Amino acid sequence: MKKIYFGIAVLIIIIDQITKWVASSTLTIHEQNPVMPSFNFTLMHNYGAAFSFLSDAGGWQRWFFTIIAVVISIVLVVWITRLKTHEKWLGFALSLVLGGAIGNLIDRVAYGYVVDFIQWYYDRFYWPAFNIADAAISVGAVILLVSSFFADEDTNDDPVTTKTAAPDDQRQ
Protein backbone atom coordinates (compact mmCIF):
# COMPACT_ATOMS: atom_id res chain seq x y z
CA MET A 1 0.00 0.00 0.00
CA LYS A 2 2.89 2.38 0.74
CA LYS A 3 4.02 2.12 -2.88
CA ILE A 4 0.68 3.65 -3.89
CA TYR A 5 1.31 6.66 -1.65
CA PHE A 6 4.74 7.25 -3.17
CA GLY A 7 3.19 6.72 -6.61
CA ILE A 8 0.64 9.43 -5.88
CA ALA A 9 3.43 11.79 -4.78
CA VAL A 10 5.39 11.08 -7.98
CA LEU A 11 2.26 11.64 -10.07
CA ILE A 12 1.70 15.03 -8.39
CA ILE A 13 5.33 15.97 -9.06
CA ILE A 14 5.07 14.98 -12.75
CA ILE A 15 1.77 16.81 -13.32
CA ASP A 16 3.08 19.86 -11.44
CA GLN A 17 6.31 20.05 -13.41
CA ILE A 18 4.62 19.49 -16.79
CA THR A 19 2.02 22.20 -16.13
CA LYS A 20 4.69 24.63 -14.94
CA TRP A 21 6.76 23.93 -18.07
CA VAL A 22 3.72 24.51 -20.30
CA ALA A 23 2.87 27.72 -18.42
CA SER A 24 6.45 29.00 -18.63
CA SER A 25 6.67 28.10 -22.33
CA THR A 26 3.36 29.59 -23.45
CA LEU A 27 2.52 32.47 -21.09
CA THR A 28 4.08 35.89 -20.72
CA ILE A 29 5.00 36.93 -17.20
CA HIS A 30 2.19 38.83 -15.41
CA GLU A 31 -0.08 38.79 -18.48
CA GLN A 32 -3.61 37.65 -17.64
CA ASN A 33 -5.03 35.03 -20.00
CA PRO A 34 -8.75 34.60 -19.29
CA VAL A 35 -9.96 31.01 -19.28
CA MET A 36 -13.45 31.63 -17.96
CA PRO A 37 -15.13 34.22 -15.73
CA SER A 38 -13.18 34.54 -12.48
CA PHE A 39 -10.32 32.33 -13.73
CA ASN A 40 -7.07 33.26 -15.49
CA PHE A 41 -3.79 31.69 -16.38
CA THR A 42 -1.19 34.24 -15.31
CA LEU A 43 2.51 33.37 -15.16
CA MET A 44 4.19 34.60 -11.99
CA HIS A 45 7.47 33.87 -10.24
CA ASN A 46 7.18 33.51 -6.49
CA TYR A 47 10.50 34.11 -4.72
CA GLY A 48 8.91 33.67 -1.29
CA ALA A 49 6.61 31.16 0.34
CA ALA A 50 2.82 30.95 0.39
CA PHE A 51 1.19 34.20 -0.78
CA SER A 52 4.69 35.51 -1.68
CA PHE A 53 5.63 35.71 2.01
CA LEU A 54 9.23 37.02 2.24
CA SER A 55 9.47 37.36 -1.56
CA ASP A 56 11.49 40.56 -1.26
CA ALA A 57 13.78 39.43 1.57
CA GLY A 58 17.00 39.65 -0.43
CA GLY A 59 17.66 36.07 -1.52
CA TRP A 60 18.36 34.22 1.72
CA GLN A 61 14.78 32.94 1.73
CA ARG A 62 15.49 30.68 -1.29
CA TRP A 63 17.82 28.49 0.78
CA PHE A 64 15.74 28.82 3.93
CA PHE A 65 12.62 27.49 2.16
CA THR A 66 14.72 24.86 0.36
CA ILE A 67 15.99 23.50 3.67
CA ILE A 68 12.49 23.53 5.16
CA ALA A 69 11.11 21.66 2.13
CA VAL A 70 13.88 19.04 2.30
CA VAL A 71 13.33 18.46 6.03
CA ILE A 72 9.54 18.27 5.63
CA SER A 73 9.91 15.87 2.70
CA ILE A 74 12.18 13.57 4.73
CA VAL A 75 9.75 13.63 7.65
CA LEU A 76 6.84 12.81 5.31
CA VAL A 77 8.71 9.91 3.68
CA VAL A 78 9.51 8.43 7.10
CA TRP A 79 5.92 9.00 8.26
CA ILE A 80 4.48 7.29 5.19
CA THR A 81 6.78 4.28 5.63
CA ARG A 82 5.53 3.89 9.21
CA LEU A 83 1.82 4.08 8.40
CA LYS A 84 -0.42 1.23 9.43
CA THR A 85 -2.57 -0.44 6.78
CA HIS A 86 -5.82 1.12 8.07
CA GLU A 87 -4.44 4.70 7.79
CA LYS A 88 -5.44 5.14 4.14
CA TRP A 89 -6.70 8.73 4.30
CA LEU A 90 -3.63 9.77 6.24
CA GLY A 91 -1.41 8.13 3.64
CA PHE A 92 -3.29 9.81 0.79
CA ALA A 93 -3.09 13.23 2.46
CA LEU A 94 0.61 12.86 3.24
CA SER A 95 1.34 11.79 -0.34
CA LEU A 96 -0.37 14.94 -1.68
CA VAL A 97 1.65 17.15 0.67
CA LEU A 98 4.87 15.28 -0.19
CA GLY A 99 4.31 15.57 -3.94
CA GLY A 100 3.51 19.26 -3.65
CA ALA A 101 6.50 19.98 -1.41
CA ILE A 102 8.89 18.26 -3.80
CA GLY A 103 7.28 19.89 -6.84
CA ASN A 104 7.90 23.36 -5.42
CA LEU A 105 11.33 22.32 -4.11
CA ILE A 106 12.41 21.42 -7.66
CA ASP A 107 11.48 24.94 -8.84
CA ARG A 108 13.17 26.65 -5.94
CA VAL A 109 16.45 24.76 -6.46
CA ALA A 110 16.40 24.99 -10.27
CA TYR A 111 15.23 28.59 -10.73
CA GLY A 112 15.35 30.34 -7.38
CA TYR A 113 11.58 30.84 -7.47
CA VAL A 114 8.38 28.83 -7.74
CA VAL A 115 6.36 29.05 -10.96
CA ASP A 116 2.73 30.01 -10.29
CA PHE A 117 0.11 30.35 -13.01
CA ILE A 118 -3.41 29.60 -11.73
CA GLN A 119 -5.33 32.71 -10.75
CA TRP A 120 -8.85 32.95 -9.33
CA TYR A 121 -10.61 36.24 -8.76
CA TYR A 122 -13.95 37.84 -8.06
CA ASP A 123 -14.61 41.35 -9.32
CA ARG A 124 -11.49 43.29 -8.22
CA PHE A 125 -10.42 40.76 -5.57
CA TYR A 126 -7.67 38.37 -6.69
CA TRP A 127 -6.55 35.25 -4.90
CA PRO A 128 -2.75 34.89 -5.06
CA ALA A 129 -1.59 32.83 -8.05
CA PHE A 130 -0.73 29.21 -7.31
CA ASN A 131 0.17 25.95 -9.03
CA ILE A 132 -0.64 22.23 -8.93
CA ALA A 133 1.86 21.59 -6.13
CA ASP A 134 0.22 24.30 -4.00
CA ALA A 135 -3.21 22.81 -4.69
CA ALA A 136 -1.99 19.33 -3.71
CA ILE A 137 -0.50 20.66 -0.47
CA SER A 138 -3.74 22.49 0.33
CA VAL A 139 -5.98 19.50 -0.42
CA GLY A 140 -3.67 17.24 1.59
CA ALA A 141 -3.77 19.65 4.54
CA VAL A 142 -7.57 19.83 4.42
CA ILE A 143 -7.81 16.03 4.36
CA LEU A 144 -5.44 15.84 7.34
CA LEU A 145 -7.52 18.39 9.24
CA VAL A 146 -10.91 16.85 8.42
CA SER A 147 -9.73 13.29 9.06
CA SER A 148 -8.35 14.31 12.45
CA PHE A 149 -11.92 15.08 13.54
CA PHE A 150 -13.08 11.62 12.47
CA ALA A 151 -10.11 9.59 13.70
CA ASP A 152 -11.27 6.24 15.01
CA GLU A 153 -9.41 5.48 18.22
CA ASP A 154 -10.61 1.86 18.11
CA THR A 155 -8.39 1.14 15.08
CA ASN A 156 -5.24 2.04 17.03
CA ASP A 157 -3.47 -1.27 17.48
CA ASP A 158 -0.47 0.13 19.34
CA PRO A 159 -0.63 -1.44 22.82
CA VAL A 160 1.28 1.48 24.36
CA THR A 161 -1.27 4.11 23.30
CA THR A 162 -4.46 2.04 23.21
CA LYS A 163 -6.76 2.89 26.07
CA THR A 164 -8.17 -0.12 27.85
CA ALA A 165 -10.71 0.12 30.60
CA ALA A 166 -10.23 -1.93 33.72
CA PRO A 167 -13.18 -3.94 35.00
CA ASP A 168 -15.27 -2.10 37.60
CA ASP A 169 -14.04 -4.26 40.45
CA GLN A 170 -10.37 -3.42 39.75
CA ARG A 171 -10.76 0.36 39.80
CA GLN A 172 -9.69 2.24 42.86
Is 16 one of the annotated active-site residues of the chain? no
Neighbours of 156 (CB within 10 A): 15
The residues, ordered by sequence, that sit 6+ positions from 19 with a Cβ below 8 Å of its Cβ are 117, 131, 132
> Which of 56, 107, 134, 168 is an active site residue?
134
Taking the C-alpha atoms of residue 122 and residue 39, their distance in angstroms, rounded to an integer, is: 9
> Which of 56, 116, 157, 169 is an active site residue?
116
Q: How do the domains of the chain map onto residue ranges?
A: 2-26+45-151
Query: What was the pLDDT predicted at 158?
Result: 43
Is 134 one of the annotated active-site residues of the chain? yes
pTM: 0.81
The count of residues in the chain is: 172
Q: Encode pLDDT of 28-48 as tens digits.
A: 999 999 999 999 999 999 876
Taking the C-alpha atoms of residue 16 and residue 102, their distance in angstroms, rounded to an integer, is: 10
Query: What was the pLDDT predicted at 71?
Result: 95
Cβ-contact 86, 40 below 8 angstroms: no
